Structure 1
Amino acid sequence: MDVITTVAAIILAFLVGAFLMIVSDTDVRSTFAYFFARPSDALAASWDKVSSAYGALMTGSLGSWQAITETTAQAAPLICAGLGVGLAFRAGLFNIGAQGQAIWGAILAAYVGFTLHLPPVLHLLVAILAGVVGGGIWGGIVGWLKARTGAHEVIVTIMMNYIAAGLLAFFLTTTAFQRPGRTDPISPIIDWNATFPRLAGSQLHIGFVVALVAAAAVWWILDRSTIGFAIKAVGANPNAAATAGMSVGTTTIITMTLAGALAGLAGVQAALGPSASGVPVPLSAGIVGSIGFDAITVALLGRSKPLGTVLAGLLFGALHAGGLAMQSIAQTPLTLTTVLQALIVLFVAAPALITKIIPFVRTRKVRPVGPTTEGGLA
């Protein structure tokens, strides 16, 4: 059922996107003024608009080796952050703080990258470790507050997102982070030794492999480890888990620490991944972008499962990579890709709506998406 609902959500999102393209294009819309006289004009214009836009999207994301590698580069941080959000979901926790955790991952990874001058492999490993630890600590604070004081993780993570962003802005005004000779908030260039190696002439870098390894690690934790069993048990019914002898508080702290570490790894991807020009990306206020917030949609679409998160990250990575092609080739606004992402999540998060639109799905049992309420089933 999960697969059918997800596929249906994607199809419906692209159909609604096609409708939006048609009604928002003045030339196409004008052909409907005489639709009943010459319906072929309106249909042809609509088809040309939609097919050119989605064709450009496919070309920009999968149409060449360069496009495919750009998709993987865009997907890598989304996969890591999506794993962090999805892991928290499995424990019944709403980790809205992936953005702040990713920011701390980027801060510490970049700082190690431009401050230390270590041998090639060692420098990269230390930078990755620093970013993962930074995100893990930032997420662990939320877990500790939840477990020890009962603070709601949604409120705490949202506030900590603002704190992380504010601290990054502040750090970039200090001599420790500001590039010598500059007064604007930008850091020194990260050493090549600390950046992810990539294949020559492409955007495919080791960071994508790291994201896949992280997904495999999350799968192993959830399906093959004791803590994974505890995470799923607490997510399914914390009262029953406590009765069985599991420590709900400890599991909450461990889960949020792991989730923060994964989101921190997404920040590492943003800081240490090469830019389109191949030059290392300096630390700046917008280095993480909206990765942490996009991760929520990735986790929802991936049903909080590692494989689903990888596939959802690749889909959203393709939308990001192909969005520029849609804009340049088909003159379609870049923001349409954001609308498509939102529509996909809307349909995935509202399976009852899909059962109304697509009758044959109605005969199947629809499972809830994301964290469940206390006492519910995961």
Structure 2
Amino acid sequence: MTQDPTPAGDPTPIAADMHAAGTPAQEAEGQPEDGKRRDRRPSGQSVMREIMASSGVFIFFAIVLALIIGAILVAAFNPRVHETASYLFARPTDFFFEVWQSFRGFFASLFRGAVFDYEATSVPRMVKPITESITNSVPLILAGLSVAVAFRAGLFNIGAQGQIIIGALVGGYVGIAWQLPPVLHLLVAVLGAALGGAIWGAIPGILKARAGANEVIVTIMLNSVALYLLSYFLKTKTYIGQGFAGKSEQITSSAAFPLILGSPFRLHYGILLALLAAGFVWWLLERSTLGFEIRAAGANPAAARTAGVSVNRTIIVTMIIAGALAGLAATGPVLGTERFVSNGVAASFGFDAITVALLGRSKPLGVVFAGLLFGALNAGAATMQAAAQIPVDIVQVSQAIIVLFIAAPPLVRWLLRLPGPERRTTPRSRVQKKEVAAA
């Protein structure tokens, strides 16, 4: 990484441009130093910055609130709660007991399905839930990193779903049609999946940089194109052989991720790939020159151009990297758990990745923990439905509520009576206010 030639203590061109809006008092009044009034209406990027600036405590409370609301919904649709509510005033204890049982069943079954099944009769069955949570998190972490990288550049990569599909097609083709030595075969299949996603991510990046096309619209349209391509290729002999349309042949064992704990666990070495990708994204964004350019372009494109950053090139490179990460997400099901390509290979990973990136504040470590959380919710849903007779849709509702709370910070602050960001002051900000008042 090259050293910044700017002397210590002097503002960089980017910092100077970013702070050229005026003093805090002038900004509060919407009046810059030049005396001309500017429009202070929030833009899409300012809303995204507010979402990503949410504190860890705020995110924790958003998750807790979402789970509590999910438990309330379970109690609201419980037939026993309805029955006891009919004679609530005669015997209120029955009603509250059933409500408590609904709450307890919701959280207990979620814990048993996602962390530790204390009712199982053998040790492997007891610890299997946590391994399933980790296994489910692999594609979510990789796809979440894809969306997070784009977010840091001020881009909305809604096309992770399509990039996962193309990555699955390329990686699956290498795993099915090629014959290579075991370790080499796996590496080539992984690189093929990354290459497929990178190519699909480069398309909206080039259109955005060269033609000014909106990346949201382009990526959404490419999702549909990828879905139709998947349907087409899963009718060809290359993928299905003598089988039926909609599901490919099994990939060869030399191209599959080995199992970490062996059967009956599904945990595979794809989790190491996800952690390595998270480490790479951290280094890229925080320690590399390209990462500085990505962050600069996302914070203020005009200031980045003034500092000599090629914003168009940064957009293209960012979308290529984001697409490659999304393509790697396809290796979770294709080379890990399912070991074949099907019409549902991408599931909802691409759209869940948006939530994971927001929940992780677009930081690699946060994305890893958010992916583990959503992997745990997905793993716990099956046990909730089987053991506690709780509809699996309740988990999806809880996930949607988490998205709502993360995307609407003022709502959570109002519910919990938390101070807004404008009310949080630091010693430096107080000194600046005094200096402005004195001037």
TM-score scaled to structure 2, two decimals?
0.80
- 1:179 touches 1:186 (CA, 8 Å); kept in 2? no
Equivalent residue letter for 1:318: A
Aligned residue in 1 for 2:375: 317
Find 1:184's aligned residue among 222, 232, 245.
245
Find 1:274's aligned residue among 337, 344, 368.
337
Equivalent residue letter for 2:358: L
Aligned residue in 1 for 2:18: none
Alignment of 1:337-348 (within 5 A): 337-348=395-406
- Distance in structure 1 (CA, Å) of the matches to 2:267 and 2:342: 23
- 2:159 touches 2:219 (CA, 8 Å); kept in 1? yes
- Distance in structure 2 (CA, Å) of the matches to 1:90 and 1:364: 20
- 2:171 touches 2:331 (CA, 8 Å); kept in 1? yes
The runs of 5 or more residues in structure 1 that have no matched partner are 276-280, 368-378
Equivalent residue letter for 1:355: R
- Distance in structure 2 (CA, Å) of the matches to 1:120 and 1:327: 39
Matched, 1:205 2:262: no
- 1:271 touches 1:283 (CA, 8 Å); kept in 2? yes
Note closer, same or farther for the CA distance 1:288–1:363 as it changes in structure 2 (3 Å cut): closer
Find 2:101's aligned residue among 48, 51, 54.
48
Aligned residue in 2 for 1:22: 75
Equivalent residue letter for 2:237: T
- Distance in structure 1 (CA, Å) of the matches to 2:224 and 2:153: 24
- Distance in structure 2 (CA, Å) of the matches to 1:107 and 1:58: 35
Equivalent residue letter for 2:386: S
Aligned residue in 1 for 2:345: 287
Measured against aligned partners, the alpha-carbon deviations of 1:174-200 in whole angstroms (never above 9, x if no partner) come to 2222222x2433211100110111121
Structure 1 residue 36: Cα displacement:
2.3
Structure 1 residue 363: Cα displacement:
5.3
Note closer, same or farther for the CA distance 1:238–1:262 as it changes in structure 2 (3 Å cut): same
Aligned residue in 2 for 1:371: none
Structure 1 residue 78: Cα displacement:
0.2
Note closer, same or farther for the CA distance 1:147–1:116 as it changes in structure 2 (3 Å cut): same
The runs of 5 or more residues in structure 2 that have no matched partner are 1-53, 117-125, 425-439
- 1:2 touches 1:366 (CA, 8 Å); kept in 2? no
- Distance in structure 1 (CA, Å) of the matches to 2:409 and 2:162: 30
Aligned residue in 2 for 1:370: none
Equivalent residue letter for 2:201: G
Find 2:203's aligned residue among 141, 150, 154.
141
- Distance in structure 1 (CA, Å) of the matches to 2:183 and 2:340: 20
Alignment of 1:63-212 (within 5 A): 63=116, 64-180=126-242, 182-198=243-259, 199-201=261-263, 202-212=265-275
Structure with the bigger RCO (C-alpha within 8 Å, sep 6+) is: 1
Q: Secondary structure at the match of 2:246?
A: coil
Matched, 1:243 2:243: no
Note closer, same or farther for the CA distance 1:85–1:37 as it changes in structure 2 (3 Å cut): same
Note closer, same or farther for the CA distance 1:205–1:242 as it changes in structure 2 (3 Å cut): same
Note closer, same or farther for the CA distance 1:346–1:191 as it changes in structure 2 (3 Å cut): same
Q: How many percent identity over aligned positions?
A: 51
- Which of the two has higher C-alpha Rg? 2
TM-score scaled to structure 1, two decimals?
0.93
Structure 1 residue 364: Cα displacement:
4.7
Equivalent residue letter for 1:77: P
